[in-house]
Amino acid sequence: MRVAMIGTGYVGLVSGTCFSDFGHDVTCVDKDISKIERLRAGVMPIFEPGLDDLVARNVADGRLRFTTDLAAAVADAEVVFIAVGTPSRRGDGHADLSYVHAAAREIARAAEGFTVVVTKSTVPVGTGAGLEQIMREEVPTADISVVSNPEFLREGAAIEDFKRPDRIVVGTADPRAREVMAALYRPLSLNAAPVLFTDRANAELIKYASNAFLAVKITFINEMADLCEKVGGDVQEVARGIGLDRRIGPKFLHAGPGYGGSCFPKDTLALIRTAQEAGTPLRLVETVTTLNETRKAAMGRRVLEAMTVSPRGATVAVLGLTFKPNTDDMRDSPAINIIQSLVDRGVKIRAYDPVGMEEARKVLPEGVHYATGAYECAEGADCLVIVTEWDAFRALDLDRLKTQLRSPIVVDLRNIYPPEDLVRRGFAYVGIGRGDLSIG
Ligand code: UDX
């Protein structure tokens, strides 16, 4: 099938590339000419394991190309995906749909023959219906059907998630569009991924409800971690114990410094706004977003409490800056709040991340020392904080680390070390939700 993918951000680039890898003919479109030129030269705008090879292979095979010419790509396509950004609108937290609307108008003008227009961007319930109206106003004769097909891929595991999804959600009441979408996803159903056909509003809601539910799950275990610390429990054991119940499941039960990233914070906020306007506020989700913000702020205090020297003039080493491993994405990363709150108290920061340093420099406060590796980062520090659980930090030479630090104190916000290992080597250790071993 001939596919046009409008927007080469995370979702657009990964899904466009994966569709081409499944044999479809894909043209990725972006307004940003320098981005398109870089993509043509094989330079990825994002860090995503395996993506550069997959792009190269499909470009070489002639199934994948990059252009700024939206009209030509759309005219030629049977299916057009809208995968442009839907950032939080300043002031009210609603999803900003201006890019989506602009793309829809351009698509309406360029479409030839029956064209299925699919929203892959995360858009509030009702957006699909609105787009159909906008496009009809733009070109009354256009033969267009708008489908909602949300994307659930995670950064860092995006290709795997796209190719082996738990489910594919397709929202449409139009039998012609349904047939086109079924043909498009046929190669993926070989991987036994169920395709859930539903109506458009439900598909739009499913995306937000999924993200909100996962945010609730993480926040629940984070609160349990706080309780464990007070009453002498171990949150990892508790998570394992409850996760074995299939009704609960083991995933998204890792306590940590609070969730971040490009989706959960923005999407929970947008869902809250939708619900408020509908007169049915989602109080649970509202509370979760507040708790998560409070938690991120509290992590800086946790570091200060673990230290044995006063903050002014002290040095803290921060390992891991991105909101999670295997990405260079700093959006809403807990590291930003933690570092800012330490800097506000006069602490000097040494920071290291295996991939996110360039992005980190754009958002972290002035004066941060960017280290060349984990050991150099620890040099002369009064405390070492692990904020992101990169594999590279999981098996550090602890004795070497100890000689680098001025005070052997580790605050492990992802619980990647067994406390006993550190305590035995003479470290003071603070984890998350490990009551009996907090501060050795
Ligand atoms: C998320 C959704 O998982 C994905 O389906 C959607 O399409 C986009 O948003 P992503 O933001 O890439 O994906 O990352 P994810 O792996 O879900 O992690 C989000 C945040 O939650 C990270 O900050 C992570 O550290 C945190 N998290 C996740 C926890 O603190 N504990 C967990 O158990 C899981």
* Tens of pLDDT, residues 92-108: 889 999 999 999 999 99
Report how far residue 282's alpha carbon sits from residue 386's, in angstroms, rounded to the nearest whole number. Answer: 33
299, 284: one domain: no
| Three-state secondary structure string covering 342-395 | HHHCCCEEEEECCCCHHHHHHHCCCCCEECCCHHHHHCCCCEEEECCCCHHHCC
Range of the domain at 426: 295-437
**Residue where a domain terminates, one of 235, 256, 289:** 289
Residues 375-420: pLDDT tens digits? Answer: 999 999 999 999 999 999 999 999 999 999 999 999 999 999 999 9
Residue 132 maps to a domain: yes
Q: Is 299 in the pocket of ligand 1 (CB under 6 A)?
A: no
Q: Is 218 in the pocket of ligand 1 (CB under 6 A)?
A: yes
Residues 196-253: pLDDT tens digits? Answer: 999 999 999 999 999 999 999 999 999 999 999 999 999 999 999 999 999 999 999 9
Task: Report whether pLDDT(438) > 50.
Answer: no
Task: Report whether pLDDT(62) > 90.
Answer: yes
- Which of 324, 330, 338, 389 maximizes ligand 1 atoms within 8 Å of its Cβ, making it the mutation to test the pocket? 324
268, 178: one domain: no
Running DSSP on this structure, what letter comes out for residue 146? Answer: E
299, 270: one domain: no
Average pLDDT over residues 345-371: 97
Average pLDDT over residues 119-138: 95
Task: Report whether pLDDT(112) > 80.
Answer: yes
Report how far residue 196's alpha carbon sits from residue 204's, in angstroms, rounded to the nearest whole number. Answer: 13
Question: What are the binding residues for substrate?
Answer: 152-155, 207, 252-256, 260, 324
At 130, which CATH number? 3.40.50.720
189, 261: one domain: no
Taking alpha carbons only, the member of 326, 324, 303 closest to residue 315 is: 303
ipTM for this model:
0.97
Amino acid at 413: L
Ligand 1: centre distance to CA 154 (Å): 7
36, 184: one domain: yes
17, exposed or middle or buried, with CB in 10 Å at 0-12, 13-18, 19+?
A: buried
Q: Count how many domains the chain has.
A: 3
Helix runs in 92-199, H state only: 98-110, 127-138, 158-163, 175-189
Active site residue 28: no
Amino acid 440: pLDDT: 41
Amino acid 436: pLDDT: 54
Mean pLDDT of the chain: 96
At 238, which CATH number? 1.10.1040.10
Can you tell me which residue has the tokens 């052997």? 408
Report how far residue 437's alpha carbon sits from residue 28's, in angstroms, rounded to the nearest whole number. Answer: 52
218, 119: one domain: no
Amino acid 188: pLDDT: 82
220, 171: one domain: no
Closest C-alpha residue for ligand 1 atom 13: 154
Amino acid 189: pLDDT: 74
